[in-house]
Amino acid sequence: MAKAKIKKITIDDLKITIDNLAVATSNGFKAADKKTDNLAATMADGFEKQKKATDEKIGNLTVMMAEGFKNQEKLIDEKIDDLAAMTKRGFDKTASKEDLNVVKQDLEVVKNDIHFLKSDVQDIKEKVDNIEKLTLQQHGFQIKKLENKVKYIEKVLTID
């Protein structure tokens, strides 16, 4: 059986080993700090991009709504003009029961159209509200997910 070779460890050897361990630990903390800083920057960039995208979507929605209201206003004006022309024709001639019935039917159509327009406006308002709520819900989930990731990183790196 061969004899095991015994190496004597000096205080200088221990000091060098402790110094090397201190440097390695310090480098590990620096790397963890760098990763945390990078994660924070990435999160900030992501939030900024999402804010810009949301602002753009809301801006587009505003334009679409303005165009929709303008188109609906034109339709209402046309219907009012049509009704005014029918009324004038009715007064230009001797009004009969039949003429009055036609006017009544047209008025019902206009009332029905106005009812639908009010409903459409209400739907648009609800959709805008839902977009806002949905955007907040989506961001909430992303924020929670990122918080969980940061907690995991802190746990792995034993950072308080």
Q: Give the tens place of pLDDT for each residue, 123-158.
A: 889 888 888 788 777 787 787 888 899 998 888 888
What φ, ψ does residue 40 adopt, rounded to 5°?
Answer: -60, -45
The CA distance from 128 to 66, in Å, is 13
If we measure between CA atoms, which residue out of 33, 71, 61 comes closest to residue 125? Answer: 61
Q: What is the pLDDT of residue 24?
A: 87
Low-confidence stretches of the chain (pLDDT beneath 70): 1-4, 93-95, 160
Instruction: Please identify which residue in the block is written with the tokens 């009812």.
Output: 115
Surface-to-core class of residue 64, CB atoms within 10 Å of its CB (0-12 exposed, 13-18 middle, 19+ buried)? exposed
Q: What is the pLDDT of residue 15?
A: 92
Q: What is the pLDDT of residue 148?
A: 92
Q: In terms of residue numbers, what domain contains 115?
A: 11-157
Number of domains in the chain: 1
Q: What is the pLDDT of residue 3?
A: 65
Q: Which two tokens stand for residue 148?
A: 């969980």
Q: What is the pLDDT of residue 31?
A: 86
Q: What is the pLDDT of residue 131?
A: 84
Whether residue 102 is contained in a domain is answered as yes
Whether residue 60 is contained in a domain is answered as yes
